[in-house]
Amino acid sequence: MVQETVEYREMNNVKRNDFMQLLIQLKQKGSLDSEQGAEDRSDEEFSGTGETADGLSMNSLAAQAFVFFLAGFETSSTTMTFCLYELSVNPDIQERLRTEIDMVLEKHDGKLSYEAIQEMSYLDKVVSETLRKYPPISGLMRECSKPYKIPGTDIVLDTRMRVLIPVIGLHHDPKYYPEPHRFDPERFSEEEKQKRHHYVYLPFGEGPRICIGMRFGLMQTKVGLVSLLSKYQFSVSKKTPVPLVFDPKLFILAPAGGMWLQIKKRSME
């Protein structure tokens, strides 16, 4: 699909102000018009990726488009799915969240704005707890840029050694999260967050390599949840798997066989 889109735009000289146009420009020129000094880059900067300073290869272009789609949409949709599942299993939490949503929307004349979302503190806790229990990526891979000795041990991580960080293992460690399989948004109250090390919660990674789309992903997830919960009630059905089973074939954490919930339109009286 990516190749067909690129070929059509190049053949018909179609230019649009979008992400695909940036990738096409990288394919053709090897840099963006706004980049300074791009012409001074050597081919070595692109070694091992299949492209040269002349531009991205079609395979690399397709891979970039795939990653942006996966990171920008799939993670948000699966997070909303898991959140609605937990709210269905825990109707008391769903009702408390809906009460907050109704109050804030009423205050803002029914308009769902950035400011309104920022006022929904319980929504933030619910989403954070969802990401703790169901991190989109169960593990992170990092590479050492220089030798590092693990404090309190004789173990030294050499330069270029790869380290796998078990995100889902940290998120389900009872040392940091008592009763880790219980869905409890209050784990993310300011008081409770102060009791834990910052790096035991890594749904988006951390440090300089933190997910570049974190804020967008969170906002997209929250807007989706508010839009749904303000209009519908969710509950378990006969087909709802309790407990959930994850699909082992997928890179993004997702329920096996999809998600089955009962959805009922709210009475707005």
Distance between CA atoms of 226 and 116, rounded to whole angstroms?
10
- Residue 242: inside a domain: yes
For residues 171 and 162, the answer to whether their CB atoms sit within 8 Å is no
- Residue 26: inside a domain: no
| Res. 53: pLDDT tops 50 | no
For residues 263 and 233, the answer to whether their CB atoms sit within 8 Å is yes
The DSSP symbol for 52 reads B
| Res. 25: pLDDT tops 50 | yes
| Res. 43: pLDDT tops 70 | no
- Residue 81: inside a domain: yes
| Res. 110: pLDDT tops 60 | yes
- Domain with 193, as residue range(s), is 76-137+179-265
Distance between CA atoms of 152 and 95, rounded to whole angstroms?
47
Distance between CA atoms of 11 and 126, rounded to whole angstroms?
48
Residues 6+ apart with CB under 8 A from 136: 74, 75, 78, 79, 203, 252, 253
For residues 78 and 130, the answer to whether their CB atoms sit within 8 Å is no
- Residue 50: inside a domain: no
Report phi then psi at 155, rounded to 5. Answer: -80, 125
Tell me the pLDDT tens digit for each residue of 150-183.
Answer: 999 999 999 999 999 999 999 999 999 999 999 9
> Which run of H or E residues covers position 233?
strand 232-236
Q: Which residues are annotated as a binding site?
A: 211
Picking from 248, 27, 6, the residue whose alpha carbon sits closest to that of residue 138 is: 248
Tell me the pLDDT tens digit for each residue of 222-258.
Answer: 999 999 999 999 999 999 999 999 998 888 899 999 9
The pTM for the full model equals: 0.77
Q: Which residues are annotated as a binding site for heme?
A: 211
- Residue 29: inside a domain: no
For residues 252 and 79, the answer to whether their CB atoms sit within 8 Å is no
The gap from C-alpha 211 to its chain's centroid, in whole angstroms, comes to: 8
First-last CA distance in the chain: 47
Pairing relationship of beta strands 148-149 and 162-165 according to DSSP bridges: unpaired
Structurally, the chain folds into a number of domains equal to 1
- Residue 244: inside a domain: yes
- Residue 130: inside a domain: yes
For residues 226 and 111, the answer to whether their CB atoms sit within 8 Å is no
Sorting pLDDT into bands at 50, 70 and 90, what band is 45?
Answer: very low
The whole-number average pLDDT for the span 23-40 is 62
pLDDT value for 267: 84
CATH number at residue 110: 1.10.630.10
Paired tokens of 28: 């053709």
For residues 195 and 230, the answer to whether their CB atoms sit within 8 Å is no
Tell me the pLDDT tens digit for each residue of 59-96.
Answer: 777 776 766 666 667 789 999 999 999 999 999 999 99
- Residue 93: inside a domain: yes
